[in-house]
A and B are shown apart, each in its own frame.
Chain A
Amino acid sequence: MSFYPYAVAAWLFVVGLWGIVASENLVRTVLCLTVVQSATYVLLLAVGYRHGGAAPIVADIPVHSRLVDPTVQVLVLTDVVIEATVSALLLALVVQGHKRFGSVDPQQLRALHD
């Protein structure tokens, strides 16, 4: 159990990349990108966890109780906002791409090659 979350994070990172490489649909590519990003959430939150720690809200509990690390939660919050925004941009591009290329298959996007 002590290494399991870290292994999950590494797995998610690589399997998300696999999804992007093997994808034949751009919407699936964008979703696999979010899988890669979720690897970073798992890693960050796993790093900050403390056994028996409460959530970092000291409203009802004594100020000096054992808490999990609040900093990684802030980092993940920023990370989530970044994911939402990049996904929105990419999906907007896929929508316009579908109109222009008539397809969402990366293989059919042939406007740029050497």
Chain B
Amino acid sequence: MSRRGRLLLFALGGATLAAVLVIAERGLPSFGDYHGVYGRVVQATEPVLRRATDLVTALNFDLRAFDTVGEEFILFASVAGVALILRRMRDEDDRALASTPQEHRFTGASDALQLLTLALVPTFIALGVYVIIHGALTPGGGFQGGIVLAAGPLAMLLAGRYLALKRLAPVWALESVDAAGAMAYVLIGLGGLVFASSALQNFLPLGTPGQLLSAGTMPLSSIAVGIEVTGAFLLTWTEFLDQALIVERRH
């Protein structure tokens, strides 16, 4: 279709679709007035039954844990997909690299930037670990903390040390970490089947709310997801950065 035809077709369709959506939304309770039963039942029963103080994490890793298994594997599948799509083609090679990482500065970063970013790396890692472990207690959890944790090694790129990052975290290691996190989560779920009555059930002692070791399997699930997310995002980012910085066409 010509560009004009396409835009005209969309103008008609889009306007109608917008009208349909607005008509449907008029049946919604007005903003701020939500009174559904799901959230209230969770609020009433969960702190008693599972002793987690972060209701979102409790929903994520306990009540709706099956959704999280699916979500985790979406991440896993997409990372496998990115690795599949960005694999080296027949006519590509990795650029010949200098022998010592310190000599290879990619970003032309100034010394001040490098120093500052290197100081950030342990900060991100510590913050990430904190957010992951306290998933059931305070805002955060495996997914959120995993991203922060992955940002730590990525900051090494800003410091001009991409090769050091690649040496620290080669592709096979990241793939294994990613797969290990995913499998750990499934095994915890199967643990529910073995040690309690149904799959994905919380089967560890619940402890006191507010303590680090409380809410049963939730901290463990959080850690498993955190490991997977870290591995997955580092793998995705290194694949893309490889394409930009290292892969070149054979001449």
Contact = CB atoms under 8 A, between A and B. Distances in A.
A103 B243 CA distance: 16
Interface string B13-27: 011011001100110
Interface in A57-113: 57-59, 63-64, 67-71, 73-74, 77-78, 81-82, 84-86, 88-89, 91-93, 95-96, 99
Contacts of A73: 56
Nearest to A24: B3
Given A18-B10, A48-B39, A69-B36, A6 B82 contact: no
Contact of A89 (B17, B26, B81): B81
A74 B28 contact: no
B42 A93 contact: no
Contact of B59 (A11, A13, A74): A74
Contacts of B55: 56-58, 67, 70
B175 interface: no
Contacts, number: 150
A89 B85 contact: yes
**Per DSSP, are chain A's interface residues mostly helix, strand or loop, or mixed?**
helix
Contacts of B6: 21
Interface string A1-18: 111111101110110011
B82 A88 contact: yes
Interface of B: 6-7, 10, 14-15, 17-18, 21-22, 25-26, 28, 30-36, 38-39, 42-44, 47, 53-56, 59-60, 64, 67-68, 71, 74-75, 77-79, 81-82, 85-86, 89, 137-139, 143, 210, 236, 239-240, 243, 249
